[in-house]
Amino acid sequence: MNKKGITPVVAIVLLLMMTVSSAAAAYYWMTTIQSDLQNKVAQNIQSTVGSAASLKIDAAECNGTSDNVKVYLRNPGDTDITDLKVYVYSASTGALINGADLTPSSLSGGATGSASATVSGIDPDTSYNIKVVGSPNVEATATAKCVS
């Protein structure tokens, strides 16, 4: 009976410490994997969505006496847009009035800017649908009432 062993209290404390440390290691491992996976998915989405060309018209205005159409454009993507053209449609009938090349004819990725064109056939105090198209295969529309 002179042999001594680990008391039950010490054994329980050791078992609890091993359990807590293994749970902490598993938690750290899982959060690291999850974080890496989320970062890779976010990069994938950014490379897919960010590279797509996109065009937005923030505002459009036209002057019926000078046949001038001005559009304020935004390119939220990172792809440059070139060959910008504007088409003016009647808001009431939907018929194409005329079209023209915009100046400047390009918009860099992530940029905002204004472009204008002379489009014959527009009348003062009339509403028109303005459509801007560009390459690579982007378009945007807005409605504007021409002033005199």
- Tell me the per-residue pLDDT of 50-74, one tens digit each, with 9 for 90 and over: 556 788 988 888 887 788 888 999 9
**Where residue 61 sits, what CATH number does that domain have?**
2.60.40.10
Count: domains in the chain: 2
pLDDT (0 to 100) of residue 14: 92
Question: Residue 104, preceding bond cis, omega within 30 degrees?
Answer: yes
The reply to whether 108 and 122 lie within a common domain is: yes
Which residue among 32, 50, 68 closes a domain?
A: 50
86 touches 114 (CB < 8 A)? no
102 in Cβ contact with 81 (< 8 Å) = no
For all residues of the chain together, what is the average pLDDT? 86
Q: pTM to 2 decimals?
A: 0.63
100-129 pLDDT, tens digit each: 888 888 888 888 888 888 888 888 888 889
Tokens of 97: 């009035």
Whether residue 35 is found in the same domain as residue 67? no
Give the Cα separation of 101 and 83 in Å (integer). Answer: 8
Shared domain for 80 and 96, answered yes or no, is yes
Q: Which of 50, 68, 86 is the last residue before a domain boundary?
A: 50
Q: What is the pLDDT of residue 120?
A: 84
Q: What does the pLDDT look like over 28-44, one tens digit per residue?
A: 999 999 999 998 988 88
Dihedral of CA 78/103/63/124: which sign?
Answer: negative
